[in-house]
Amino acid sequence: MSNARAADRIGQVLGGRYRLLAPIGTGASATVYLADDVVLRRRVAVKVLHDALASDASFLKRFQAEARSAAALNHPHIMAVHDWGQGEVPYLVTELLDGGSLRAMLDAGNLLDLSQARNVGVDTARALDYAHRRGFVHRDIKPANLLFDDEGTLRIADFGLARALAEAAWTEPAGAVLGTARYASPEQAQGIVLDGRSDVYSLGLVIIESVTGHLPFTADTTLGTLMARVDRNVPVPDVLGPLVPALRAAGVPNPADRPDAAEFATMLMAAGDIGPAAPLHLAGTVALQPDQLDPREPTTIYMPEQIVLGEATTTVPSGPTFADPTIANELFTAAQPVTRTINRPESAAVATAARSGEGPRRRVPAKGMAAIIALLLVVGGAAAFFLLRTPSHTLADYTSMSASVARGELESKGFKVVDNGTYSESVAIDTVIAQDPVAGTSLAEGKTVTLTVSLGPPPVPVPTDLPGKTIDQASAALTAASLKLGVVTDAFDETVAKGIVLSLADGVTAQMPKGSAIGLVVSAGPKPRTIPDIAGKPFAEVAPQLDALGLKVTRVDEYSDTVAENIVISSSPAAGQTAAKGSSVTVTVSKGKKPVTIPASIVGKSIADASAQLTALGLTVSGVAGNPTKTVTGSTPAVGTQVKAGSAVTLVTSP
């Protein structure tokens, strides 16, 4: 929306109900105005979406569905959606949060300490868990969408709007996506289906930036920013101390390895004692000047500076100049009664009468005028009392009640609710321990009720001496520490025996909530060895190869008509199978062909018959010792001797 167009809307009434007073924020998709709800006489924020969206039929349909769904979200840390409309342009009406945004706070140089950052992270994660369980993924968690009321209570803004805008056909200003990309998860960069763990990744980045002032993985280009984090863990600076394990878990690139929002909140709460949180340095909300109405960060709608809403002057300080200063002051003070005396010179009254075509009017006698004024004051005062007074309610006793139920009842009566978590050994988690003000107090709507809510038993130290123990020993140590054994994961180890604890599982911190299941990584022993293909190789080469794998070799020799002597015939286990380290592998080695026994049956045969018999056995006849016409009487080597196949035999005959 142009600067002129934004200024032109000042004084416009949307839906016959919401009078726009002054712009307080701008972004790539919308301008946000301070507005007066003329029906309920209260201040609200109205997000007026840009003109280009009004012609996008698919967006309007999605916007309507998302607005209705977002309005159904009822959580103390999610911005309340009061109303929506689709007149000249689509608009959304939300509660007005005077504390400004986390973005404004950081831009003003007010970084968070560890306690403040943990509180912001826990409140945001609990609200995200509430929304995720109802099918909402925010898609745009960043400092600009984390807002605060004037008492410092956090709200998440823009639930549902990010998905509606993502499906719109309009074109954002060049580079507008960069603001969101700075906090996008790796799966957003890859364009795959998102679940709630995408919001957890973005929240982790926000927490890191809120403490250090620097955002990890920020490149000069949108593509560079997105791709820098696809395959890399988020680097978490050591300055984040006890929060480091939780933030590392949130910053892994694979969403399947990340905690969900509820688990992330628990991990932050289990980060140990980091002291009480100091009050936040709220930035407030300011009416913007025309030259501030260009998008500074996409979908950013709340800007820094101290809130300046209404003075008894003709212009708004540091804000726009109104065409009718009187109207401006009326709009800014509409939420509270104002007594004002207007002294008009006689000449002005005459001029007014002349312009209206009337002659001088007869003056009302002074006593009559006084009576009229008195009557008007009485009637006006009574009307103001009944119209402007804030209803009150008597507080019930919310102790021992579920915090979510108590919160819902209080908010339905118009109260603000602040949760103060505290550990308790005796009160179940998420149960109200105490309330302030106490039961029976009469309290006006809009006031704050503080609930002290049980966080369950306090965290307990996780034993540090579990590595080196057996599973049974580790389980006993965990039980003694008021914890229990969780998932056991096996991992191969060359030096640690099977069944011995190697380490704690990822995500286990130095302190965990009492009763937590602690995962362990346990040795599965050395990794099994795969038997190589050794058939056809000389045994002299095979033995060292198997020995290098940590395997023992058992040699078995056997004759073979096809495999040469000292060549490996086979192995058991066979090639491709596995064997435990230190186990034995049987290697069968060839002894060559089986030896032949010179048969005694050649004696008494003719040279021709004896030669034929020996040849059939694989032997050769090298000659005849004696008369070749005589019968065979023996042989060299002698009859009955074993010789190698192919050996030469000399036949012997009688003289």
Who contacts 382 (Cβ-Cβ below 8 Å, separation ≥6)? Answer: none
Return the closest-CA partner of residue 401 out of 428, 422, 436. Answer: 428
| 3-state class (DSSP) for residue 298 | coil
Between CA 80 and CA 69 the distance in angstroms is 12
Query: How many CA atoms are closer than 13 Å to the CA of 370, on its beta-carbon side?
Result: 3
Q: Which two tokens stand for residue 135?
A: 């099918």
Between CA 31 and CA 1 the distance in angstroms is 8
Say whether 140 is catalytic. Answer: yes
Between CA 194 and CA 196 the distance in angstroms is 7
Between CA 497 and CA 580 the distance in angstroms is 13
Q: Exposed, middle or buried by CB within 10 Å (0-12, 13-18, 19+), for 641?
A: middle
Return the closest-CA partner of residue 620 out of 628, 629, 611. Answer: 611
Q: Which two tokens stand for residue 182?
A: 């700075």
Between CA 530 and CA 533 the distance in angstroms is 10
Catalytic residue among 140, 149, 158, 419: 140
484-491/517-523 β-pairing:
parallel
Phi, psi of 197 (to 5 degrees): -70, -15
Cβ count near 171 (within 10 Å): 8
Who contacts 33 (Cβ-Cβ below 8 Å, separation ≥6)? Answer: 9, 10, 20, 21, 22, 23, 24, 45, 46, 48
Between CA 179 and CA 40 the distance in angstroms is 36
Catalytic residues: 140
